[in-house]
Amino acid sequence: MDALLLSRLQFAFTIAWHIIFPAFSIGLASFLAVLEGLWLASGRDVFHTLYRFWLKVFAISFGMGVVSGVVMSYQFGANWSVFSRVASPVIGPLLAFEVLTAFFLEASFLGVMLFGEKRVGRGLHFTATVLVAFGTVVSAFWIISANSWMQYPVAYGPGPNGELRALDWAKVIFSPTFPPRFFHMVIAAYLTTSLVVGAASAWSLLKGRSVEESKVALRMAVLMYAIVAPIQLFVGDYQGKQVLTLQPTKLAAIEAFWESRTEQPFHLVAWPDRAQARNHFEISVPKIGSWITSGATSKRVTGLRDFPRDEWPPVAVVFWAFRIMVGLGLLMIALGFWGAWLAWRRKGPETSRTYLRACVAMGPTGFVAVIAGWVVAEVGRQPWVIYGLMRTADAVSPVTPGQVSSSLIGFLVVYAIVFAAGALYILRLFGEGPGAGAEEREPPERRAPGTPLAKTPDDPDPEAAT
Amino acid sequence: MRLDLPLIWAGLIAVAVLLYVLLDGFDLGIGILFPFAKDPKHRDAMMDSIAPIWDGNETWLVLGGGGLLAAFPLAYSILMPAFYIPVYMMLLALILRGVAFEFRLRGRRRGKKFWTAAFAGGSLVAALSQGLILGGFVQGVRMNGLNFAGGPFDWFTGYSIVTAIGVVAGYALLGAGWLMVKTEGDLHQDARWWAMVCAVAVAILLASISALTLFLHPFIAHRWGWNGHGFDMSVFAPLSPIPLLGLIGLAMVAWGIRTNGHRLPLLGGYTVFLSGYIGLAYAFFPDAVPYGVTYRQAASADNALGLMLVGIAILLPVILGYTVWVYYIFRGKVSADAGYHA
């Protein structure tokens, strides 16, 4: 394998692994801010118990997000040095602003949030939580801004040595695809977190643990599914219409349209074949493909055959990733309406064990949908790294396949260990439930003092218990 | 008034890297000293002393990488492929040690043991990698025009091995100094002993690195007035405060250890680092990639530098302000028995 393919594999692996954590921590930080705010406003202990519980989960996942994010600021140069040199005068400042406005804020106030409850007043502590939540959203702002410019570059010109330069910063930062993509990502993060919160709460309720706290958290999650999931459908649809005009090859790949025509069929299932430029095993609904993508069955939608073959993205991956994302999104909407109906016509979503099981099953789907969505965005942009301007193949560093294989193997091994451990520790917390820490409010500090876990009882260690 | 934007940004990146070294240096040093702790409780206290602040410290590394990308893209695009292997060694090591802060507390018996080792090993490998990058950088990068044209192991030389050990010893000195500030009792006494060992190692390594550096490249020798047999005093004399600063730092460490001071060894360690940093920076300035690409050639477009300068002028004071505030919030001693929340 050559350094290009290996570098692409490494980037795909490290970025897909990384996005799990921001997607979760953007939503979780906001959830924590809401919980602490509700606690301060209402004085109800249940909110504080939930806050302490989800803070422990946050500490674990945020750490994994930070360390896998540091990789990104070096990987651009190590593996994509030509891209870095050419694009940096335009998107470099956006990435620098992410560090300056978001990373420092998050990192500094996270310490206060985790360890400062006894050191600062309640108001300051709440401020720290809000600042961390704000930082996560600001970080998303800059990174989506940079990525949106790469999806549809505007307001740039040639520099003196073959690199690009920005002509209008406002237009670069708020490039046309940015607003819907930013909202789409933030909403996705909120949904992803709600699904995890809902699943963990439903699990506790099924096991009959921490009932009071879990009921509250589950209701908050259901409220999010019912309101946010439908909004996401509309934001996503708006974004799709934009892709039709701004990135027509991506759209054709998403829908596996090969020929240009009006009344395009919508392919529910198909096996796109790039070599033969057609689909196998199609199951399609006639005419509505045009309607879904452009708003009217009479609109002519361009197929891939009308674009040069060397500008086609991989079709099957994009087509299927899109269907996974949308399919899961529709299930989330259904879960929201079902829960709302239970709350309205029954005594609450927690009364149906079937519903609780469905919530548990849907727990990880937000992550799957986020990764699938990014696959659509990034693979759909291929063969370009900057759409229409620079090909991915021309962006790679002068490094050897041996170097890239060794770093790729390093990531596979280290990320497997870290992911397994992190998932285990988070699931273990979910198994204990939020109430586990609240029963003993002030345990003797057997744990390392000064940690977020200092106030919780030790893990139930079977060897120690016997 | 026209600002010299590339020069300002060269200064800003240099300050960011220095702050990174001084801040993350002591917390990497804690990890390097981890295996020498006599008591598991000491290890917990060592980690507690940096748990609330390590993340902010490491952010300066992200600013270093991101800032180099944004302000000097040409340098970034040459240096990262040139140091491909040590850069990724550093990143993987930082991942393992970074997650260890939380994971070590969540793990049970075997888990805790594993993450204790990961924290120590990760800190050591990260420091070694940074030292290898430093050595490779100072000895120069092979280029063909404006592209990296060297091999994957160019950075691996006798010189870079010495600088790598030097960085490890230096960070361990800062870590020991930090522990003398933050702890009391047995751990404080252990830290005092570690600081002494590290200070001796740093003195020897710094002297060796200084001497070796003079023979590394004619550019450096010329800079420092070294003619192969002795110093040209007219060049060297104005520069002599730089090595003198290092000696003063070492004296501060020695005096602090002798009098069992709490703050002096760390401040002395910082002074030694400052001297080494200025000395090396002077050796290759104005190159952003030694020896051939100056910071001016490597600089990004003026409008990009200008935009970021406006941003940093507003944001850097704010960042420094809340960073100091966070350190202030978590001031005072930690100890295994007293508890941090008290």
**pLDDT, tens only, A165-222:** 999 999 999 999 999 999 999 999 999 999 999 999 999 999 988 888 899 999 999 9
pLDDT in tens, B145-175: 888 888 899 999 999 999 999 999 999 999 9
Q: Which of A419, A418, A375, A401 is nearest to A15 (CA)?
A: A375
CA distance B69 to chain A (A): 6
| Amino acid type, A84 | S
Beta carbons of B69 and A92 less than 8 Å apart: yes
**Residue A119 pLDDT more than 50?**
yes
Q: Which of residues A188 and B218 earns the better pLDDT score?
A: A188
Q: Which residues of B touch A71 (CB under 8 A)?
A: 91, 95
Give the gap in angstroms from C-alpha A123 to the nearest C-alpha of chain B.
15
Indicate whether B98 belongs to any domain.
Answer: yes
Yes or no, beta carbons of B98 and A403 under 8 Å apart: no
Q: Measured between CB atoms, does A420 come within 8 Å of chain B?
A: no
Give the whole-angstrom CA distance, residue B299 versus residue B218. Answer: 25
CB B327 within 8 A of CB B22: no
List of residues 6+ apart from A127 with CB closer than 8 A = none
The token pair at B157 is: 């030389």
Q: Do B76 and A410 touch (CB under 8 A)?
A: no
Q: Do A96 and B107 touch (CB under 8 A)?
A: no
- CB within 8 Å: B73 and A85: yes
Residue B204's pLDDT is: 95
A464, pLDDT greater than 50: no
Per-residue pLDDT band at A121 (split at 50, 70, 90):
confident
Residue A462 pLDDT grade (very low, low, confident, very high; cuts 50, 70, 90): very low
pLDDT on residue B3: 86
Tell if the CB–CB gap between A451 and B105 is shorter than 8 Å: yes
For A352, phi then psi, to 5°, come to: -105, 115
- B-chain CB neighbours of A421 within 8 Å are 99, 103, 107, 111, 115
Write out pLDDT tens, residues A149-170. 999 999 999 988 889 999 999 9
Residues 149-168 of A with CB under 8 A from B: 159, 161, 163, 165-166
pLDDT for A434 equals: 87
At A447 the three-state DSSP class reads coil
Higher pLDDT, B230 or A129: A129
Q: Could you read off the pLDDT of A238-254 as tens digits, one per residue?
A: 999 999 999 999 999 99
Candidate from A68, A169, A448 with C-beta closest to B48: A448
Q: Which residues does chain A have within 8 Å of residue B87's beta carbon, measured at their own beta carbons?
A: 74, 78
Does A358 have pLDDT greater than 80?
yes
Query: Does A271 contact chain B (CB < 8 Å)?
Result: no
**Which residues does chain B have within 8 Å of residue A118's beta carbon, measured at their own beta carbons?**
341-342
- The two tokens of residue B146 are 């404006």
Query: Considering its fold, how many domains does chain B have in total?
Result: 1
* Nearest residue in A to B303, CA atom: A166
Which DSSP symbol is given to A99? I
Q: Is the pLDDT of residue B335 over 70?
A: no
Q: Is the pLDDT of residue A386 over 70?
A: yes
Cβ within 8 Å, pair A71-B95: yes
Share of chain A above pLDDT 90, in %: 68
- Decide if A406 contacts A365 (C-beta within 8 A): no
In-domain check, residue B337: no
A263 part of contact set with chain B, CB < 8 Å: no
Residue B217: band (very low, low, confident or very high) from pLDDT cuts 50, 70, 90: confident
Query: Considering only CA atoms, which of B269, B262, B259 is closest in space to residue B331?
Result: B262
Q: Which residues partner with A386 through β-bridges?
A: A390
Q: Do B88 and A78 touch (CB under 8 A)?
A: yes
Shortest alpha-carbon distance between residue B263 and chain A (Å): 22
Could you identify the residue written with the tokens 């849907």?
Answer: A362
For residue B288, what is the DSSP state?
Answer: E
Residue B85 lies in a domain: yes
Shortest Cα distance, chain A CAs vs residue B55, angstroms:
5
- Residue B253, domain member (yes or no): yes
Report phi then psi at A280, rounded to 5.
-105, 160
State whether residue A390 is helix, strand or coil.
strand
CA distance A373 to chain B (A): 26
Q: In the structure encoding, which two tokens stand for residue B236, read together?
A: 């060297």
What is the reported pLDDT for B2?
A: 77
Which residues in chain A touch residue B147, judged by CB atoms under 8 angstroms apart? 398
Reduced to 3 states, what is the DSSP secondary structure of residue A172? helix
**Taking phi first (over 0 means left), then psi (-120 to 50 degrees means alpha), and beta for anything else, what does residue A267 get?**
beta
Q: Nearest to residue A51, comparing CAs of A137, A138, A128?
A: A128
**B338 in any annotated domain:** no
Q: Give domain status of residue B340, yes or no.
A: no
Looking at the predicted structure, is the pLDDT value of residue B48 above 60?
yes
pLDDT exceeds 60 at position B337: no
Residue-level pLDDT at A454 = 46
Does the structure show a pLDDT above 80 at A438? no
Q: State which H helix or E strand residue A445 sits in.
A: none
pLDDT of residue B285: 85
**Whether pLDDT at A442 is above 80:** no
Share of chain A above pLDDT 70, in %: 93
Q: Which residues of A touch B28 (CB under 8 A)?
A: none
Tens-digit pLDDT profile for residues A81-109:
999 999 999 999 999 999 999 888 998 89
Residue of B99, B154, B155 to mutate for A, most A C-beta atoms under 10 A: B99
How large is the average pLDDT for residues A211-239? 92
Q: Is residue B96 part of a domain?
A: yes
Shortest CB distance from B152 goes to which of A60, A68, A403? A403
Structural domain that includes position B121: 5-329
- Nearest Cα of chain A lies from the Cα of B229 at a distance, in angstroms, of 40
Q: ipTM of this predicted complex? A: 0.89
Give the pLDDT confidence of B82-115 residue by residue, as tens digits: 999 999 999 999 999 999 999 998 888 889 999 9
Window from A38-42, B205-209, B210-214, B333-337 with minimum mean pLDDT: B333-337
The SS3 call for residue B99 is helix
**Quick one: tokens of A41?**
């406003």
Average pLDDT of chain A, as a whole number: 89
Among partner residues B59, B73, B342, which is closest to A88 by beta-carbon distance?
A: B73
Which pLDDT does position A371 carry in this prediction?
Answer: 95
Chain B CA closest to residue A452: B102
pLDDT band at B283 (very low <50, low <70, confident <90, very high): confident
3-state secondary structure of B263: coil
**B34, B43, B91, B308: best mutation site toward chain A, by most A Cβ within 10 Å?**
B91
Mean pLDDT of chain B: 90
d(CA B110, CA A339): 42
What are the pLDDT digits (tens) for A1-13? 688 999 999 999 9
**How many A×B Cβ pairs under 8 Å?**
264
Cross-chain residue pair A454–B329, CB shorter than 8 Å: no
